[in-house]
Structure 1
Amino acid sequence: MAKDPERVCVLVVDDEPRIRESLRRVLDPMGYCVRTAADGQAALAVLDREPVAIVLLDLQLPDMHGMAILHRIRERYPHIVVIIITGFSTVQTAAEAMRSGAYDLLPKPFDPAQLRLAINRAREKMALEAEARHLQQEKLRTLADLSLEQSRLRAILDTLPIGVLVTDNQGGVVLFNPTFASFMELPADTPPGRELARYVRDDGLRSRIAALSGGCATDGEEGTAYELCTGGETFLLARGRPVVGEQGQCLGAVVTLVDITAMKVLDRLRGEFVAKVSHELRSPLSTIHEQLAMLLSDLVGQLSPSDAHLLSRAKEKTQGLIALIGDLLDLSRIESGVVCRTPTAVQVEELLENIIVFLNTKAAAKQQTIALRRASSLLPAIQADPLALESIFGNLITNAVNYSPAGTTIEVTVQRVDTQVQIAVRDEGFGIEARHLGKIFERFYRVKTEKTRYITGTGLGLPIVKGLVDALGGRITVESIPDKGSTFAVLLPLPEADL
């Protein structure tokens, strides 16, 4: 076939010069590159040296029969389109030519219009065959790319240090990697394609994967998270995501398993270290604090102003260290899961009222007012640990007092929001810039400005509040405007009986 699609080469094979010349006069104006041959050998020579696309072939040639040339063309140049031109056309001749691979047959004599029609049909056939070859090449290339991509994906999955499991929407296992098989203690030759129970023995994990696979259920934006122990001291963290199709249908799920044994051991050691150090330090610090208090009390009027200031600062610092130790112990208990006692019915308004009464003395020293705004109707009691609630709202209201200037109001609002109780603590204090809001619940993080640098604190109050709220199944949010104030809102779930 010609390299230039605009100059398709046509070979005319006929022993009559008049026929060859007349065909050239028709084809030249149509834009074809015309070559001619008077016999079979000359025709084969042209085919060997030039990219011919169409052959107009006479059957009666001086040196060989046209059918022999047709067979040679089919063997060596299968993409060339052959049109038979003969003056001895019979049904048998046409049938034999077509069986041998000819595309068309023009009986002599034929007029230019018939020739043009036959040539145009041949061009269409060439275009279709070229497109078919292109599509076939693209298909082969795509299949090769898919095969390569699957090989790469398989290699990546096999070398991942995390376990990977893929299921269909019926919960059947489609794929898993060797790390998953190792975590689940499966034999090395275990094949995919069976029901989930063959691969996952833990009932809790199996039910979560089944829910993900069939119903696209998730436990929040981070997907389903589940911890399990496979025996001994090995702990795994499983997370799952549904696989959703273009139409929103659930196609299955992808689950990952991570070995968190080292993290568990580290957390336990850290907790033990904090508890031991805290207990060892609390007793001597308490003794020092009491002795400093006695000195300041017994030597009133006998100390110089500078000595009295130094002792007061030492007493204040020891009190800060004792508070820090208490906060560290609280965090240690929260992280170990031993944070809340057996939940009891708590009337939130009464608990807040008691906290406000206790803190009113501290607020009054700064000419501040703490106001409680109750709901229009009595709210049902919530099931929670009263000590945990006292720690949460005691911290939030104390922060509002500490970080608000004199003469301002702290407002505590209680109301029902759908299936939850919302307690909001709003102050008119120094506020928090937006860049700090994402970090204030981190340990030891404190926002220090010219207005707050002299306020003492451990930086553990809000992390404790966040840990306790999470342990109670609630949620805490914060809104703040610098120099305008902040609002911390705690949402706690109501008992199902009151929904």
Structure 2
Amino acid sequence: MQSTPDPVTVLVVDDEKGIRDGSARIIDRMGCHALTAKNGEEGLDIIGRTDVSIVLLDLKMPGIDGMEVLKRIQTLNPDILVIIITGFATIETAIEAMKRGAYDFIPKPFEPDQLRIVVNRALEKITLKKEAANLEAERRRTLADLGTEKSRVHTIIDSLPNGIVVTNADGQVVLMNPAFGRLLSLSEDTATGDHISAYIPDEGLCQLIVEISGGRHVDFDDIPSYEFAVGGDRFFMARGRPVLGERKECLGAVVTLVDITNMKVLDRLKSEFVAKVSHELRSPLSTIHEQLALVLNDLMGQLSESEEHLLARAKEKTQGLISTIGDLLDLSRIESGTTCQEPKPVMLEELLSNIVDFLGTRAKNKSQTLTLVKPDTALPTIKADPLALESIFGNLITNAINYTQEGGEITVRVDLSGLNLRVQVIDNGFGIDERYLDKIFDRFFRVKNDKTRFITGTGLGLPIVKGLVEALKGRISVESEPDKGTTFTVLIPVD
């Protein structure tokens, strides 16, 4: 059964007995509890002893005047709503009192209805304020409640096979399921409440979780997955997402933990197999390619047109296989983390200039213009593997040349974007249909249509580029429109 709320206490402070008693009778009939005081000292004494919500305060009184009483009321309890009672000759003073924090004013002489209206407005504000406080209290039900609430959601989380951990805005663990403890070999009596670093041994992951908990990653697409190893033989992948409140404020983070040890073992075996097979195939294919080239050169003019075409096609195909093997070996090195050599200081503008100069001849053979656009101010030097950078931008520019019609335009633009060096390779070539944009970084995927089906390639160039960019802690994106061109954007961190 719901209890009836206590009536609101209204204090009338006025030196005129008729005003005090008449106002008190009206206020009592409104369902409020009315108190009276004949001067400021007596009113302040009542406020100090009683829970008063509204004060009707006369400005002109003997002793302490209304302005001083208003000031002291705000010091004692700023939540009290003060309604100034004033004569017509002191309206300006009443307005000044409202500027200093009074809620409203009522001029003398006033009718009972006028008093009811102004008091009702104050009562409505008190009601709204209480409702807002209740809503705020409800919203402030912290994620810590999840740790003790025996609910269906809690049961579901406990039964999940993947590890789940929830933190509050300060990065403290408020909930974790049994799978999380088993994956990280935590004791069964491990309690929540400590900082995330007390549960997860990887410093980088802890830092990422703290950032998510603090609201630094409100865009879900901006949050990377995180892989880490425990003990050198167990591998885990973590994904974190912010927990948002009704007003989109960040309340904390929820992190899922998956054991990917078997996947890592499988990837290693696959890479070792690819590397071994590739090494075994490269040597005989290179020999066959050289012998075909020798036959073509030695028997030039002695072969029929069909025989010469057959040998040329065989030579072309063996070269394609050799290129595929080279790309597969590059991918194996990327997956094993050994592709990037020791970082060195690199001036990206100079490296791009060399690549553009080198590939300029190929562009000219197709009557294309290949242009490098640099900013007016010098760009900062970055520390990276120059061979990886050459492979990235060499691949992208070569693709632009191959997939742009004769007479087309290719622009390489480099500038500074925040804390990243941004390189864009822009062409007005064949373009890529939107449905293929999320597939072009897949291995062996190639867009084939009437304009591109004669272009040779392995479909491994862009996967290699993406792997190298990510190895450099960078990002790559693409925008394209058929028959209008393509723009690849690479962001490389300065630090």
Give the TM-score band, short-chain normalised. 0.5 to 0.7
Task: Please state if 1:155 is matched with 2:136.
Answer: no
Task: Please state if 1:316 is matched with 2:316.
Answer: yes
Match of 2:220 in 1: 221
Pairwise CA distance, 1:209: 4.0
Do the aligned residues in 1 keep the contact of 2:271 with 2:332 (CA within 8 Å)? yes
Pairwise CA distance, 1:372: 2.4
Equivalent residues in 2 for 1:477-488, closer than 5 Å = 477-488=477-488
Match of 1:258 in 2: 258
Pairwise CA distance, 1:348: 2.2
Pairwise CA distance, 1:232: 5.7
Q: CA offsets, 1:328-387, max 9 Å, x none?
A: 111111122212111212222322222233223323332333222332233333222111
Cα 1:160/1:277, change in 2 over 3 Å: same
Equivalent residues in 2 for 1:333-412, closer than 5 Å = 333-412=333-412
Match of 1:446 in 2: 446
Match of 2:179 in 1: 179
Q: What TM-score do you get using the length of structure 2 for normalisation?
A: 0.64
Q: For the residues of structure 1 that align with 2:296 and 2:231, how far apart are their CA atoms? A: 59
Q: For the residues of structure 2 that align with 1:161 and 1:482, how far apart are their CA atoms? A: 45
Match of 1:300 in 2: 300
Cα 1:278/1:446, change in 2 over 3 Å: same
Q: For the residues of structure 1 that align with 2:404 and 2:433, how far apart are their CA atoms? A: 15
Do the aligned residues in 2 keep the contact of 1:271 with 1:332 (CA within 8 Å)? yes
Q: For the residues of structure 1 that align with 2:401 and 2:247, how far apart are their CA atoms? A: 54
Equivalent residues in 2 for 1:182-221, closer than 5 Å = 182-193=182-193, 196=196, 199-213=199-213, 215-218=214-217, 221=220
Pairwise CA distance, 1:393: 1.4
Q: For the residues of structure 1 that align with 2:342 and 2:218, how far apart are their CA atoms? A: 25
348-357 vs 263-272, which moves further: 348-357
**Residue 452 of structure 1 aligns to a residue in which SS?**
coil
Match of 1:472 in 2: 472
Do the aligned residues in 1 keep the contact of 2:427 with 2:485 (CA within 8 Å)? yes
**Residue 281 of structure 1 aligns to a residue in which SS?**
helix
Cα 1:162/1:363, change in 2 over 3 Å: same
Q: For the residues of structure 1 that align with 2:224 and 2:374, how far apart are their CA atoms? A: 37
Query: What is the percent sequence identity of the aligned residues?
Result: 61
Opposite residue 402 of structure 1, the aligned amino acid is: N
Pairwise CA distance, 1:206: 4.3
Opposite residue 488 of structure 1, the aligned amino acid is: F
Do the aligned residues in 2 keep the contact of 1:224 with 1:241 (CA within 8 Å)? no
Q: CA offsets, 1:409-435, max 9 Å, x none?
A: 322223333433322222232111122
**Residue 488 of structure 2 aligns to a residue in which SS?**
strand
Match of 2:241 in 1: 241
Cα 1:227/1:311, change in 2 over 3 Å: same
Q: For the residues of structure 1 that align with 2:415 and 2:198, how far apart are their CA atoms? A: 50
Do the aligned residues in 2 keep the contact of 1:424 with 1:490 (CA within 8 Å)? yes
Do the aligned residues in 1 keep the contact of 2:166 with 2:253 (CA within 8 Å)? yes
Match of 2:277 in 1: 277
Do the aligned residues in 2 keep the contact of 1:296 with 1:308 (CA within 8 Å)? yes
Match of 1:128 in 2: none
Do the aligned residues in 1 keep the contact of 2:363 with 2:369 (CA within 8 Å)? yes
Q: For the residues of structure 1 that align with 2:152 and 2:173, how far apart are their CA atoms? A: 21
Q: For the residues of structure 1 that align with 2:366 and 2:172, how far apart are their CA atoms? A: 66
Opposite residue 216 of structure 1, the aligned amino acid is: G
**Residue 286 of structure 2 aligns to a residue in which SS?**
helix
**Residue 220 of structure 2 aligns to a residue in which SS?**
coil
Do the aligned residues in 2 keep the contact of 1:208 with 1:224 (CA within 8 Å)? no
Do the aligned residues in 1 keep the contact of 2:388 with 2:468 (CA within 8 Å)? yes
Q: For the residues of structure 2 that align with 1:206 and 1:473, how far apart are their CA atoms? A: 18
Q: For the residues of structure 1 that align with 2:230 and 2:152, how far apart are their CA atoms? A: 30
**Residue 282 of structure 2 aligns to a residue in which SS?**
helix
Task: Please state if 1:431 is matched with 2:435.
Answer: no
Pairwise CA distance, 1:182: 1.1
Match of 1:286 in 2: 286
Unpaired stretches in structure 2, ≥5 consecutive residues: 1-145
Do the aligned residues in 1 keep the contact of 2:218 with 2:242 (CA within 8 Å)? no
Pairwise CA distance, 1:395: 0.9
Unpaired stretches in structure 1, ≥5 consecutive residues: 1-145
Do the aligned residues in 1 keep the contact of 2:220 with 2:241 (CA within 8 Å)? no
Q: What TM-score do you get using the length of structure 1 for normalisation?
A: 0.64
**Residue 490 of structure 2 aligns to a residue in which SS?**
strand
Rg larger in structure? 1
Pairwise CA distance, 1:280: 0.8
Pairwise CA distance, 1:295: 1.0
Do the aligned residues in 2 keep the contact of 1:218 with 1:224 (CA within 8 Å)? no
Q: CA RMSD in A?
A: 2.6
**Residue 339 of structure 1 aligns to a residue in which SS?**
coil
Q: CA offsets, 1:307-348, max 9 Å, x none?
A: 111111011101111111111111111122212111212222
Opposite residue 180 of structure 1, the aligned amino acid is: F
Opposite residue 296 of structure 2, the aligned amino acid is: L
Q: For the residues of structure 1 that align with 2:313 and 2:174, how far apart are their CA atoms? A: 67
